[in-house]
Structure 1
């Protein structure tokens, strides 16, 4: 009996193992060879790339197929991701298909009906699980270039249902992908720790080629970073690196494995990366789980002997292709100067920080900084300005989430307080819209980086420009360009012959407002009148009228 029980248990384990292995495989979303323009975890501004970007031959309209049996769990239209379809599968994963050009069948009709009902291009539908079942290989949508997209492709996120975390989809398509090319390194960067280390006589981060012509010298506590990319056969693109391992004198000190992350981990990329360099050490306020230090120093290296230190990187992609790169840092005793900075402008990563200056109040809760910040603070008063210009730091320091800031107004040229906004100022001195609202002589706003800010005023309405209006009737497609110089377009609404007309921004890069004319909603063979109204973030409004024949 015990023997039979053991056999049964073993068979159950093998079956579970087989099922798990089977779960790690999907049918491809296309019926042509798979190539990618982007992979999971690539370094992007303030976030990791959350999925795979499948190439579609530079065109829209390719049939997108279900990866397994499951059901459509959500249908959305957004300015950021365009047409979006969520599909939940029986193996515990949900895919999010973004930048589509169209939904198919009843889903397409349902979306359009809701858009007209809500009088809004952006809609969100959560169907019941049995409403739209799908089967492996079934066409569920058409690929496209909608939303914030620079070219036709399919962006596919893979979400683990149990945790809600994004996971790397590539291993699920391993049998459909041809790749024998290993990642390649392009450069090294050394990070002497402030007041604790020095590299070539300096305490500033320094980059080096893979084979420096002169010896690299260091003393004290330093961090290492690498700039590297993965590559694939059949594509000229470069991709993020899945696994990075750093060894010093044959002992592992750091490992990063880009295989999953949660939404609240996304902005930790600002701590892990320095431009396109991936740090091989962990800032004290960085809680990114994909980073692992094994030397008790957060991956930092102590150079305290006058001898060569041998560093070796091992780079691997998600399919197991691997390369190595080695270099030497020469330990050389040098003076390490202590940090000298006014305490008032040192922000501590493990404390609540409050910056209080005349006309400025900023609260940074604990957990918003990844390391101590040494502010190069300054305030500037220009004649006639609405408020002082506050340089919190000379280079922007990212915060993990929004923090409350208020700026006092020195003067109010107009009484309408809705026309004031907090503006950021970039390195070129150009202002950009941040937001905020007026309250008791102050502009209150939430910021996610320590940069340069002031208060500005927007009283100029947006400008509408028709794009090839003579072709509207011929093509059955109305196109308008809406621009606002200061705060950007917030709302838009089109009316044709007194009835709501569905305008949208199919591609957020060009920002054109587009209406596809349809017989069922607009009579053909007549002259029609379009009334278009656009409003910016400060409430300035423009309404224009256009006549066209269709």
Structure 2
């Protein structure tokens, strides 16, 4: 039976959740183009009851039962999708944890291709280890040679003290160009397993913690996907097994033989071996910190123009926090570089930036922006005693205070029949609808509402487009007369625009 239906401009877009009580599983179908007629009618009724395009519906088993072979939807590209496809999951109904769906379809799919290795990384533990004379991580590419073996790391690795390793790798399958994650990885040192994981399930409360499973800084800066073979102290993911949390103590001047084994669900394996040479070197202590933030306590950086609070449980490791500040005439505050490198925050911290000037009467129009070259993105925030305060989910960003005082722009794309006495030439495929183009310069559209003759009507919207669409519904607005349309859009700062017109239907 269908247990949940969600409709959203972003995320999974149109999504169905079907419970299978006999097995204890829930199957999930996301980014759908449309629901089957009976499901679509049920959803539409609820949208009108709630007067909202966005709905999240929980259903009793008797409401929409389904059976094997029944078409429930058409796949598509709605929500936060990068191209037409079906987002499919199998979850444990009780815990709602996603499982490896391939386990349930293994016999239907052939896979003879082993995982592929793309790179190796070495991470000195700050203040306790060094790699090639540096406390900076060493990341190297690895290539698959024509003879089927892999190249050695392009640079030899000499280390002293405590270090961690990482690997960049993907899995592939027969007949597909896609890349996938690697199901199992083990790392051994001198023949002894030190680290391993099996990615067979996880909880949604753990999703953000995957930012410490990966090399977050390299992902943010280079879109490169190294997986750490060590467990940072704030990482509580359940998928690991390890000794010393995967860290290696290089305390002898000798070769340390490293071996990685990568395995997919079908048992296809790849092994890669290389050497880390133990060599005594000076272990440098990180310097230039504005504040050392620790993973197991609350952290606060407080100054007059800038404040940052990161509650306990939000850092995965200790960090050398840095802050730089420069004057600006283009913003309402100074510009702050919040840490030299990207660092993920598990849930969120709180940032406050002081206004250098405060000319706006409507304080909701202020917000913190993130600056990336010539591009800016809106983080928002609230005004409190001369500061703008907002949540922050990662460090390594450039921030300032800006303002959005401009309301959204609403323009017709197609309005059916006659508009203001003039008949529009509308494609046949669009004669059953009204389409409006709605845009905002900065803070984004926070809410919208359409009314015909004073009554709510359902405008649909997808986050990838600035088009909002109302499909005529004769049962709700009637036919054979002139109707009044009012469409309202409000942006993230409360700036409001209204579009009105008359149409015949």
User: Is the structural similarity TM-score above 0.5?
Assistant: yes
Q: Does 1:478 align with 2:434?
A: yes
Q: Does 1:108 align with 2:54?
A: no
Tell me what 2:297 maps to.
351
Candidates 361, 376, 384, aligned match of 1:431: 376
Q: Does 1:322 align with 2:278?
A: no
Tell me what 2:13 maps to.
82
Tell me what 1:532 maps to.
487
In structure 2, the CA distance between the partners of 1:212 and 1:492, relative to structure 1 (3 Å rule), is same
Instruction: Please list, as runs of the form range in 1=range in 2, the aligned pairs for 1:40-55 lying within 5 A after superposition.
Output: none
Tell me what 2:449 maps to.
493
Tell me what 1:253 maps to.
194
Tell me what 2:139 maps to.
207
The gaps in structure 2 that reach 5 residues or longer are: 143-151, 220-224, 416-424
C-alpha separation between the residues in 2 aligned to 1:545 and 1:473?
Answer: 24
Instruction: Please list, as runs of the form range in 1=range in 2, the aligned pairs for 1:214-293 lying within 5 A after superposition.
Output: 214-274=155-215, 275=219, 276-293=225-242
Tell me what 2:394 maps to.
449
C-alpha separation between the residues in 2 aligned to 1:435 and 1:213?
Answer: 44
In structure 2, the CA distance between the partners of 1:194 and 1:516, relative to structure 1 (3 Å rule), is same
Candidates 280, 286, 303, aligned match of 1:333: 280
Per-residue CA deviations over 1:232-280 (Å, capped at 9, x if unaligned) read 1111111111111111111111102111111221111111111200000
Instruction: Give how far 1:472 is off.
Output: 6.3
Tell me what 2:148 maps to.
none
SS at match of 2:86: strand
Tell me what 2:146 maps to.
none
Q: Does 1:178 align with 2:96?
A: no
C-alpha separation between the residues in 1 aligned to 2:477 and 2:426?
Answer: 17
Tell me what 1:45 maps to.
none
Instruction: Give how far 1:197 is off.
Output: 2.0
Per-residue CA deviations over 1:188-246 (Å, capped at 9, x if unaligned) read 11112222222222221122233234433222221111110010111111111111111
Q: Could you tell me whether the CA contact under 8 Å between 1:158 and 1:168 is conserved in 2?
A: yes
SS at match of 1:448: strand
Tell me what 1:57 maps to.
none
Instruction: Give how far 1:341 is off.
Output: 4.2
Q: How many residues align?
A: 475
Q: Could you tell me whether the CA contact under 8 Å between 2:120 and 2:153 is conserved in 1?
A: no
Candidates 492, 499, 513, aligned match of 2:468: 513
Instruction: Give how far 1:522 is off.
Output: 4.9
Instruction: Give how far 1:183 is off.
Output: 0.9
Instruction: Give how far 1:285 is off.
Output: 1.1
C-alpha separation between the residues in 2 aligned to 1:307 and 1:173?
Answer: 47
Per-residue CA deviations over 1:266-320 (Å, capped at 9, x if unaligned) read 11111111120000011111111112222x2x11112222222221111111232
Q: Could you tell me whether the CA contact under 8 Å between 2:2 and 2:65 is conserved in 1?
A: yes
SS at match of 1:270: helix
Q: Could you tell me whether the CA contact under 8 Å between 1:472 and 1:479 is conserved in 2?
A: no
Deviates more, 1:314-323 or 1:273-282: 314-323
Tell me what 2:66 maps to.
134
SS at match of 1:531: strand
SS at match of 2:459: coil
Q: Does 1:415 align with 2:361?
A: yes
RMSD: 2.2
Deviates more, 1:260-269 or 1:462-471: 462-471
C-alpha separation between the residues in 1 aligned to 2:427 and 2:242?
Answer: 60
Per-residue CA deviations over 1:361-400 (Å, capped at 9, x if unaligned) read 3221111101111122122232474223332212332111
Q: Could you tell me whether the CA contact under 8 Å between 2:358 and 2:386 is conserved in 1?
A: no
SS at match of 1:471: coil
Q: TM-score, normalised by structure 1?
A: 0.81
Instruction: Please list, as runs of the form range in 1=range in 2, the aligned pairs for 1:17-166 lying within 5 A after superposition.
Output: 71-79=1-9, 80-90=11-21, 91-166=23-98
Tell me what 1:41 maps to.
none
Q: Could you tell me whether the CA contact under 8 Å between 1:473 and 1:548 is conserved in 2?
A: no
Q: Could you tell me whether the CA contact under 8 Å between 2:445 and 2:490 is conserved in 1?
A: yes
Tell me what 2:421 maps to.
none
C-alpha separation between the residues in 1 aligned to 2:136 and 2:413?
Answer: 51
Q: TM-score, normalised by structure 2?
A: 0.88
C-alpha separation between the residues in 1 aligned to 2:499 and 2:110?
Answer: 54
C-alpha separation between the residues in 1 aligned to 2:292 and 2:267?
Answer: 44
